[in-house]
Structure 1
Amino acid sequence: MPCVLGLDSSTQSLSAILLDLDAREAIADYSVDFDERLGAKYGVENGVLPNDDPQVKHSPPQMWLEALDLLLGDLKSQGVNLSQVVAVAGSGQQHGSVYLNPRGVTLLGQLDPHLGLADQLDGCFSRETSPIWMDASTWRECQEMTEALGGPKAVAELTGSCCFERFTGTQIRRFWKSETDDYDRTARIHLVSSFMASVLAGAEAPLDPGDGAGMNLMDIRTKAWSPAAIEACAPRLRSKLPPIAPADTVVGPIAPYFVEKYGFSPDCKACVWSGDNPNSLVGVGLVSSGKICLSLGTSDTYFGYMPEAQVDPAGEGHCFGSPTGAYMSLICFKNGSLARERVRDAYGMDWPAFSAALRATPVGNGGRLMLPYFDTEIVPNVLEPKVWRFGLDEADGPANCRAVVEAQQLSMRIHSRWMGVDSTTIYATGGASANREILEVMANVHNAEVYQFPVGNSAALGAALRAAHAWYKGNGDEQPWEQIVSGYAEPVAASRLAPDPASAAVYNELIPVYNACEDHALRGGPDPAPLQEAFRAK
């Protein structure tokens, strides 16, 4: 019974999914919560160390090591037979970085099964804490790297994204500037993904193009380190970075530490890890063109498969490598459930009443539009919160309910055009995906079939599926990705919502009107009122 293990080292927990490849089912799903099990020892809140500067967000890498021991120990004590695991791969929170001194690099290959990982690697970090994706302290470094590389568009064209505070390159630059001596004694700078993969392999692991693209240091098209970006980041950096390798690379057999301590087979393959976003792409089955996923959560996230590298000319979206060897897009809209809840609460509604309001109002809302920037927005870039209404009476609760939902979907369609991909199927996840009326708007705006997708830990599942792909390939039996994900990453078939052709046509007419409203509000464009009147007259 060959099994594969997928791990997900996220901000707040370390999770595992074990798949039985013969039965094609998950036989174990387990998680270690950092606060619950290790919070008192490491002083973290939601997996993050408190800091007087609210922009600084770091976590202790030793906590991740101890969590790995706890998780594998718990699985073993629960009777999970880890000797049946033929391959293990993982997902690391994207952008987070780990800094090893020369002793740390050496000790990876000398792990003692009679001691814990955290204790053995104590004193092996040139930087005791790891900046993670939530960190926003590198605005100045973003400006410096952007200027050195020729401006935002040049950075995005080279690396797949503009410089962002959370991206690893600017974090490295800040470390070099503020803690030069510690930077100088750094032998290796890993991402969370390549660090955890190195521990499992007992040897230095490469990182893959999916996670490498979240650094602003990799050439997005060649999938190799960019000399220009590295020079703009910090001196002597290239020698401190691991190599980049395909996502199906096997680093080697799992380290003897895990064989002796937890019962893994010495033949178990330790595979390259990736970031949480590329793993989630596989975990929801997006391994070919024509499908996208819309995650409707606190923020709304639009991500999908791209066969070729496409870069957002506005610098708002991201292009990462995909575990399949192709590419993926990711666009984050900050005003997701935040905006929907603000509108719902403003009119004293619950969700059933909100849904009733959507049913009671016409498709297109009679051209009444809202720009729902209740908070600052990422896409489009809005620095000052403000809700704009065009022909929309703030006192009309039902019309405002429809306006916020239509605005979100229209904005997604407009700001995803740079991908150059026609999507015919959407997988909807997150809390709001339970609302059929919201999904109807989604289907009609995008003119695509919409399915609800039952996501637990899509990153861990994606990691397990990547391990399966690497194992089959290593045995000379490489399988197509569609076959790898089949049966594991499937939507709820009965949830299918097809677009209504008449409604889709209305939204096609409304797109330029919404675009004009956005242009007027954010860039001082012409008054969109004439376009609204023309829309109503049709």
Structure 2
Amino acid sequence: MAYTVGVDLGTSAVKALVVDREGQIIDEVSRPLSLSQPKSGWSEQDPEEWVKETVEALKILTDRLEKDVSEIEGLSFSGQMHGLVLLDQKYNVVRPAILWNDTRTTEQCQEIYEKVGEKKLLSITKNPALEGFTLPKILWVKEYEPENFRRAMTFVLPKDYVRYRLTGELCMEYSDAAGTLLLDIENKDWSTEVCKAVGLPISFCPPLVASTNQTGTVTLTETGLSRNTKVFAGGADNACGAVGTGILREGKTLCSIGTSGVVLSYEADAGKDFGGEAHYFYHAAPDALYTMGVTLAAGYSLSWFKDVFAPGEEFEDFLEDVEEVPPGARGLLFTPYIAGERTPHADATIRATFTGMDSSHRREDFVRAVMEGITFSLNESIEMFRKNGKKIDTIISIGGGAKNEEWLQMQADIFNATIVKLKSEQGPGMGAAMIAAYGCGWYDTLADCADSFLEEAEYFEPNRERVETYKRLFSIYQKVYHQTEELSEELKDFRK
């Protein structure tokens, strides 16, 4: 029997799973990761912790494998997007990684627009300058940590650094490169125009490879893997999530509710124009792209609420009474802007609100309001896609939002679409394992691999009455951002 391994480097944990030729998960391990937030809006991690916990997860898997480790033919990665890992000339880490959910770079985004031009940037990168992206982080270090910037010779993203440590080969693949604001999307190469405008030498950008390219073999023996294990470049977490859920043909749409929330739809080319409100990134599938809308604090909003108001309680118990609360949470509305927002409002300053509170509300009302608010935010992306001509009537749901039946039904009602739950939902980790399986030659295409590996388990159809109720609530939800935008800006100086 042959196996592949998928490693998913997330924000809160690194997960690794072993998959056989039939797509069955033989074993899986998750190792927690710590997060540093030294100031409001800052978010950093130690790359050495990523390496340590990834190696530990792989060692646990190989120790538990009842077969010879040489039967693990390939390994690939999924990783959190946008995070900046600066490296010196010997590829040593210069400073802690600045993560995707770090919002310190508002000034640098404006600097990019001034130096490159907003329309020019959109025409080259197909994405707006947002605080979460990589280039603003590079410019922040250049301005505020000049000594660290002088030491830096190149940069990579989180999973690329872990892959380098396992193989000794440094590169970046296209799906993550597309989220840096330095990639010319149409020409599929680093943009000399953007680099020149912001004062970066093109040599600062690492070599580019396709997600399915082999990038060496495992040389770090502490993993327990054979030195013959092939390593493939992998992809951004959302690109791998698309692979791992079968979003590999036109018409396929994904809703992923993790720490952040994502609505993602397959695209054969970069022909649509969302005016910067949605993202165009390269897919992990060869020669494909995807459009994407993002809710910055999706599952994070719910875990924040639980940690503050029900610390130590299991999520299953925390959500137990939600189904007893009617749609609309008895007049209580939540906007999930606890870390700012991205789609359709690219705003690092906006903050969350509960609207409509009164003394009759109980904890379960607040919990339902948070779940509905997260889903409303994701629905803004779905409605934007629909207005741009995409037909969205079936959506595959993964992540925390797919682990609760009431939330799955809520998605069906708010999105007004059939929601599909997969039999074995592993998302990005499975996508990484599938990239390795394709790279090892098990299948002719990733779509063939998906047809073999993935099985749909449950379907949730929209309830007509609730669809109409949620349409009314959604129109109210959309007003809250505009009515609180100025207040959030005025409160910014008080955040310490």
Fold shared per TM-score above 0.5:
yes
The change in CA–CA distance for 1:93 and 1:519 in structure 2 (over 3 A counts) is closer
Find the counterpart in structure 2 of residue 85 from structure 1: 72
Find the counterpart in structure 2 of residue 184 from structure 1: 150
Task: Give the Å deviation of 1:101.
Answer: 2.3
Find the counterpart in structure 2 of residue 530 from structure 1: none
Find the counterpart in structure 2 of residue 323 from structure 1: 284
Distance of 1:520 and 1:128 partners within structure 2? 38
Find the counterpart in structure 2 of residue 38 from structure 1: none
Distance of 1:163 and 1:439 partners within structure 2? 33
Residue 225, structure 1, aligned to residue 190, structure 2: yes
Residue by residue, what CA displacement relative to the aligned partner does 1:350-389 show, whole Å, maximum 9, x if unpaired?
856543444xx7xxx9xx9987436465234272545668
Residue 239, structure 1, aligned to residue 203, structure 2: yes
Find the counterpart in structure 1 of residue 27 from structure 2: 28
2:412 and 2:419 in contact (8 A); partners too = yes
Q: Which amino acid aligns with 2:28?
A: D
Aligned counterpart for 2:386 among listed residues 417, 439, 450: 417
1:59 and 1:130 in contact (8 A); partners too = yes
Write the mapping of 1:307-386 to structure 2, written as runs, cut at 5 A: 307-309=268-270, 313=274, 315-324=276-285, 325-334=287-296, 336=298, 338=301, 354-358=322-326, 372-373=334-335, 375=337, 378=341, 379-381=343-345, 383=350, 385-386=352-353
The change in CA–CA distance for 1:287 and 1:279 in structure 2 (over 3 A counts) is same
Distance of 2:414 and 2:47 partners within structure 1? 44
Find the counterpart in structure 2 of residue 480 from structure 1: 445
Task: Give the Å deviation of 1:185.
Answer: 3.6
1:293 and 1:428 in contact (8 A); partners too = yes
* Percentage of pairs with the same residue: 21
The change in CA–CA distance for 1:70 and 1:99 in structure 2 (over 3 A counts) is same
Aligned counterpart for 2:427 among listed residues 451, 458, 468: 458
Write the mapping of 1:231-270 to structure 2, written as runs, cut at 5 A: 231-236=196-201, 238-252=202-216, 254-258=217-221, 262-266=224-228, 268-270=229-231
Residue by residue, what CA displacement relative to the aligned partner does 1:468-520 show, whole Å, maximum 9, x if unpaired?
11121xxxx7522222123433332xx213346x6699589x58x96698469
Write the mapping of 1:268-307 to structure 2, written as runs, cut at 5 A: 268-296=229-257, 300-307=261-268
Gaps of 5+ in 1: 35-45, 105-123, 525-538
Task: Give the Å deviation of 1:420.
Answer: 4.0
Residue 428, structure 1, aligned to residue 403, structure 2: no
Task: Give the Å deviation of 1:222.
Answer: 2.4
Aligned counterpart for 1:131 among listed residues 71, 93, 98: 98
2:376 and 2:414 in contact (8 A); partners too = no
Residue 522, structure 1, aligned to residue 482, structure 2: yes
Q: Which amino acid aligns with 1:243?
A: P
Find the counterpart in structure 2 of residue 214 from structure 1: 179
Q: Describe the SS at the equivalent of 2:28.
A: strand
Q: Describe the SS at the equivalent of 1:462.
A: helix
Task: Give the Å deviation of 1:289.
Answer: 2.3
Gaps of 5+ in 2: 310-316, 485-496
Q: Which amino acid aligns with 1:187?
A: M
Distance of 1:245 and 1:62 partners within structure 2? 24
1:160 and 1:311 in contact (8 A); partners too = no
2:398 and 2:425 in contact (8 A); partners too = no
Residue 498, structure 1, aligned to residue 458, structure 2: no
- TM-score normalized with structure 2 length: 0.78
Q: Describe the SS at the equivalent of 1:163.
A: coil
Task: Give the Å deviation of 1:7.
Answer: 1.4
The change in CA–CA distance for 1:453 and 1:198 in structure 2 (over 3 A counts) is same
Task: Give the Å deviation of 1:90.
Answer: 0.9
Q: Describe the SS at the equivalent of 1:461.
A: helix
2:62 and 2:224 in contact (8 A); partners too = yes
Task: Give the Å deviation of 1:404.
Answer: 4.7
Q: Which amino acid aligns with 2:289?
A: Y
1:194 and 1:274 in contact (8 A); partners too = no
Q: Describe the SS at the equivalent of 2:265.
A: strand
Residue by residue, what CA displacement relative to the aligned partner does 1:181-220 show, whole Å, maximum 9, x if unpaired?
443343332222222222333223x322211111111122
The change in CA–CA distance for 1:11 and 1:412 in structure 2 (over 3 A counts) is closer
Distance of 1:176 and 1:352 partners within structure 2? 49
Task: Give the Å deviation of 1:317.
Answer: 2.8
Distance of 1:232 and 1:317 partners within structure 2? 24
Distance of 1:181 and 1:301 partners within structure 2? 36
Find the counterpart in structure 2 of residue 96 from structure 1: 83
Q: Which amino acid aligns with 2:291?
A: S
Q: Which amino acid aligns with 2:85?
A: V
1:172 and 1:233 in contact (8 A); partners too = no
Task: Give the Å deviation of 1:430.
Answer: 4.0
The change in CA–CA distance for 1:373 and 1:498 in structure 2 (over 3 A counts) is closer
2:443 and 2:449 in contact (8 A); partners too = no
Residue by residue, what CA displacement relative to the aligned partner does 1:249-275 show, whole Å, maximum 9, x if unpaired?
1123x14444x9735153x32211322
How many residues matched?
A: 462
1:159 and 1:218 in contact (8 A); partners too = yes
CA RMSD of aligned residues (A): 3.9
